[in-house]
């Protein structure tokens, strides 16, 4: 009788241990799943932010490139104007510098317009 009671107690303890291990395993599995889900959400947010940063950097790069072209065209036009004033007549240099300045200004205007349209559409 005592042996049978001890056997039943041991079986009960083993069953209880098994249930506890299963419960702990389930809790850990749920925790890991929630952590992974949260990590995926954070990764998606981080990727979106990085994409926006990269897009802004590309816009700044393009704007800088166009600004340099504008400055270059302005210098060429200034030099051509100075030569024309000094010599008292316009020449091919003036026409070429004027075309360069007009082209640079048009490119910059297109960039500003496209950027404004993109900003309006994204809102």
Q: What is the rounded distance in angstroms from the CA atom of residue 64 to the CA atom of residue 58?
A: 10
- Provide the whole-model pTM: 0.59
Residue 74: exposed, middle, or buried by beta-carbon count in 10 A (0-12, 13-18, 19+)? middle
Helix axes 92-122 and 2-87, enclosed angle (nearest 10):
150
Say whether pLDDT at 119 is over 90: no
Say whether pLDDT at 3 is over 70: no
The per-residue pLDDT for range 29-68, each reduced to its tens digit, is 999 999 999 999 999 999 999 999 999 899 899 999 999 9
pLDDT value of position 123:
67
């Amino acid at each position: 009788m005592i042996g049978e009671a001890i056997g039943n107690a041991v079986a009960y303890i083993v069953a209880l241990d098994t249930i506890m291990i299963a419960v702990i395993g389930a809790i850990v599995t749920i925790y890991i799943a929630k952590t992974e889900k949260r990590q995926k959400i954070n990764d998606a947010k981080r990727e979106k932010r990085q994409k926006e940063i990269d897009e802004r950097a590309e816009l700044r790069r393009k704007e800088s490139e166009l600004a340099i072209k504008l400055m270059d065209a302005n210098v060429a036009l200034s030099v051509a104007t100075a030569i024309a004033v000094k010599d008292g007549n316009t020449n091919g240099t003036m026409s070429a510098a004027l075309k360069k300045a007009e082209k640079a200004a048009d490119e910059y205007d297109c960039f500003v317009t496209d950027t404004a349209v993109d900003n309006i559409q994204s809102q």
